[in-house]
């Protein structure tokens, strides 16, 4: 596996290849690895991007303390047979004078968008940039970030991007908690409290879910009309904000 830092190096390495791309912010867990394995199975060439994207964090959010361990991530990616790890510096993606942004207007408004203004603008912009740099045939996202997947799907459709999106099921720990790089912030007591979130969502009923989240700081529990429809929730446990969702349609990724 080669680790590449610049857009020019990435383009030169790929030539005419149309790889599978797994966009990530690092701190790999089994959720990331399931995306990487799917990409490895589907594509001749696999690129994993590792970039903690500053433009999707709001003021006061966890950009500075977001877990970073590139050496560990590189080791895991290599063990999964990844060909290229694209790990640019922030200035490579957002050079001085950068001023062009992608807004997916309606889908970015509710839920996470209402609580994290500008978040999906940052996500959509960096994903479009990664798609332009890597020119993937397929790109892989997790169903855990259901609204993000919906926003990216809409962008791909609206801007006629020539790639296939694959959205894979959420990977969960034994206690049901969806794997997330932010789980690393939880103390053992907070982790126990957080396990109410998947139990609540498993009811697939917003009122029953809210009752089961009694005692937690709930940002929302709502049915969202994404494709597929989900019951989505966000809670704060101590200083950590967790999101999760359950698919309400049979046969869709869970």
Residues that bind ligand PAF (CB under 6 A): 23-25, 53, 56, 123, 126-127, 145, 148
Output 212 or 219, the one with its CB closest to ligand PAF: 219
Nearest approach in angstroms of CB 63 to ligand PAF is 12
Nearest approach in angstroms of CB 56 to ligand PAF is 6
Buried residues in 144-183 as b, exposed as e (16+ CB within 10 A): bbbbbbbbbbbbbeeeebebebbbbebbbeeeebbbbbbb
Output 10 or 127, the one with its CB closest to ligand PAF: 127
Output 36 or 196, the one with its CB closest to ligand PAF: 36
* CA–CA dist 193, 186 (Å, integer): 10
* CA–CA dist 203, 210 (Å, integer): 10
Do the Cβ atoms of 143 and 112 come closer than 8 Å? no
Pick the catalytic residue: 29, 32, 75, 119?
32
Output 116 or 213, the one with its CB closest to ligand PAF: 116
**Which helix (DSSP H) or strand (DSSP E) does residue 192 occupy?**
helix 188-194
Task: Provide the H-helix boundaries in 22-176.
Answer: 30-42, 70-79, 90-93, 112-115, 119-134, 146-158
Q: How far is CA 96 from CA 102, 124, 230, in A?
A: 18, 19, 39
Nearest approach in angstroms of CB 136 to ligand PAF is 13
Nearest approach in angstroms of CB 162 to ligand PAF is 19
29 among known catalytic residues: no
Q: How many helices (H) and strands (E) does the chain have?
A: 10, 9
Give me the active site residues, please: 32
């Amino acid at each position: 596996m080669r680790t590449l830092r610049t857009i020019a190096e990435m383009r030169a390495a790929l030539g005419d290849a149309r790889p599978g791309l797994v966009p990530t912010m690092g701190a790999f867990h089994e959720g990331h690895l399931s995306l990487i394995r799917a990409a490895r199975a589907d594509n001749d060439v696999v690129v994993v991007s590792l970039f903690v994207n500053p433009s999707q964090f709001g003021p006061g959010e966890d950009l500075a303390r977001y877990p970073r361990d590139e050496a560990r991530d590189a080791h895991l990616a290599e063990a999964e047979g990844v060909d290229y790890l694209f790990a640019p510096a922030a200035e490579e993606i957002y050079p001085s004078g950068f001023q062009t942004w992608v807004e997916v207007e309606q889908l970015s408004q509710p839920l996470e968008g209402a609580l994290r203004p500008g978040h999906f603008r940052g996500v959509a912009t960096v994903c479009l940039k990664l798609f332009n740099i890597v020119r993937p045939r397929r790109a892989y996202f997790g169903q855990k970030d259901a609204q993000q997947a919906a926003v990216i799907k809409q962008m791909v459709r609206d801007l006629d991007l020539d790639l296939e999106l694959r959205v894979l099921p959420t990977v969960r720990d034994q206690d049901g908690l969806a794997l997330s790089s932010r789980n690393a912030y939880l103390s053992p007591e907070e982790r126990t409290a957080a396990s109410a979130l998947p139990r609540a969502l498993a009811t697939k009923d917003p009122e029953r879910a809210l009752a089961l989240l009694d005692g937690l700081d709930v940002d929302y529990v709502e049915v969202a009309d994404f494709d597929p429809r989900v019951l989505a929730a966000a809670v704060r446990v101590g200083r950590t904000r967790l999101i999760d969702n359950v698919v309400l349609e049979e046969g869709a990724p869970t």
